[in-house]
Amino acid sequence: MKLSIIGTGYVGLVTGTCFAEVGHHVFCVDNDAAKVKMLQGGGIPIYEPGLEEIVKKNVAAGRLKFTSSTAEGVQESDVIFIAVPTPPQPDGSVDLSYIERVARDIAAAMTSYKIVVDKSTVPVKTGEKVAETIKRYCAAKVEFDVVSNPEFLREGFAVGDLMHPDRVVIGVRSQRPVAAMKEIYTPFQAPIIVTDINSAELIKHAANSFLALKISYINALANICEAAGANVQEVAHGIGLDERIGRRFLNAGIGFGGSCFPKDLSAFIKISEQVGYDFKLLREVQRINADQMERFVKKITDTLWVLKDKKIGVLGLAFKQNTDDVRSSPAIDLCQKLLKDGATLRVHDPKAMAKARPLLPEKGVTYLNDMHAVAEGCDALVVATEWDEFKQLDLARAKKGLTHPILFDGRNLFDPAEMEKLGWIYKSVGR
């Protein structure tokens, strides 16, 4: 099929590429001219495992193209996906101005029947507004359908998630666009749920809020484990083997972050408020998450006492492993807190250092390409992101580099008994 994706970011680029990979012809559109130029020149603006190869392959096959013209994308395709940002506003509600802008641009370029699919995460009833907007701004007065098709990919695993989704949700107002949507997704061999638009939009916020809830639940349990002398990983294993609960998203740590969970949670609280329900449970999820970071910082200050003039090595800046995304990263938040208290930092991240630089002050932060160099001359080491390679840290070498063998592990990567045997002062979460 001939498709276009408006917004070529983490979602748009991976979605467009995977659509091309299964044989569709895709135009990826972005209004960031520099990004489009980079993509047209063979560059990839984000780090996502496995993405570069399939972008190159599909560009070479002539199935994947990039443009900064929405009109070109719209005219060249039957189905148009919207994958632009839906950032939070100061009160937690969603800024829908990007969606509205794109709806108007699509409307202006439409000269024949189109299916307009919202893939961005949006509040319930946004589909209605998109349909009203397109109708109002479409001078050619052609027919169209609006569809909600929320995206569930995880950064760091996005290609695999797109190629093998757990499910595909399609929200429609009429049956007309269903066959085309099914044709797009049939090659992915996933269960397809066809529902109404409002339900489809709610599914996305409900799913992300539930996952955030799971993380806050295990973090709250971690605090009980610490106080009671239990091990949260043992508890997570014990409850996670129950199929009704599941082991995933039960890793205690310094809390969730990233471009989705915090904003989607705030949005869902706001959406609930707007329809007359006070979703206090989700406010508590937010509170536990913020508290989790404070508790971790307190662990550091309880041990190091005064942070002024202390040198701290930080492993990890991305919001989670396998990505260069630092948007609302707990690791960045932690760095900022340590810097505010007067510490200087030596930091390393396998992929996210370039994107972290603009978020941290220039003074007081040294970026190192080698994770082993981080410990040199530091008073303590902190693990802030769960990159697998950090588990391979040469602990003897790190210990030699530090002035004192202190490790604060915000992601529970090491074994407490082992660390104690090796002579470390080791503080992790919930163990």
The residue ranges that bind ligand NAD (CB under 6 A) are 6-12, 29-32, 35, 70, 83-86, 98, 101-102, 120-121, 151, 153, 155, 259-260
Query: CB-wise, 203 or 398, nearer to ligand NAD?
Result: 203
Which residues does residue 194 pair with via DSSP β-bridges, in sequence order? 170
Pairing outcome for strands 79-82 and 2-6: parallel
Alpha-carbon distance of 423 to 411, in angstroms, equals 20
Query: CB-wise, 155 or 333, nearer to ligand NAD?
Result: 155
Closest contact distance (angstroms) between CB of 33 and ligand NAD is 10
Measure CA 69 to chain center: 27
Closest contact distance (angstroms) between CB of 415 and ligand NAD is 31
Identify the three-state secondary structure at position 115. strand
Query: CB-wise, 6 or 345, nearer to ligand NAD?
Result: 6
Alpha-carbon distance of 84 to 73, in angstroms, equals 14
Contacts of 310 (CB under 8 A, 6+ apart): 304, 342, 343, 344, 379, 380
Render the burial of 330-339: b for 16+ CB within 10 Å, e for the rest. bbbbbbebbb
Query: CB-wise, 158 or 172, nearer to ligand NAD?
Result: 158
CA dihedral of 316, 321, 326, 328, whole degrees rounded to 10? -100
Closest contact distance (angstroms) between CB of 193 and ligand NAD is 17
Closest contact distance (angstroms) between CB of 4 and ligand NAD is 10
Identify the three-state secondary structure at position 396. helix
Question: Is the Cβ–Cβ distance between 315 and 356 less than 8 Å?
Answer: no
Closest contact distance (angstroms) between CB of 283 and ligand NAD is 20
Query: CB-wise, 263 or 311, nearer to ligand NAD?
Result: 263
Closest contact distance (angstroms) between CB of 9 and ligand NAD is 2
Closest contact distance (angstroms) between CB of 425 and ligand NAD is 36
Determine whether 260 is an active site residue.
Answer: yes
Instruction: For residue 204, give the nearest of 322, 28, 379, 86 by alpha carbon.
Output: 86
Residue written as tokens 């609302």? 328
Q: Which residue is nearest to ligand NAD (CB)?
A: 9
Query: CB-wise, 84 or 285, nearer to ligand NAD?
Result: 84
Which DSSP helix (H) or strand (E) runs through 386?
none
Q: What is the DSSP string of 15-66?
A: HHHHHHHTT-EEEEE-S-HHHHHHHHTT--SS--TTHHHHHHHHHHTT-EEE
Query: CB-wise, 29 or 288, nearer to ligand NAD?
Result: 29
HSE toward the beta carbon, residue 352, CA cutoff 13 A: 31
Closest contact distance (angstroms) between CB of 185 and ligand NAD is 16
Among the listed residues 28, 138, 225, 260, the single catalytic one is 260
Alpha-carbon distance of 14 to 188, in angstroms, equals 14
Which residues does residue 345 pair with via DSSP β-bridges, in sequence order? 312, 365
Instruction: For residue 265, give the nearest of 256, 254, 275, 274 by alpha carbon.
Output: 256
Query: CB-wise, 299 or 355, nearer to ligand NAD?
Result: 355
Query: Looking at the annotation, which residues are catalytic?
Result: 260
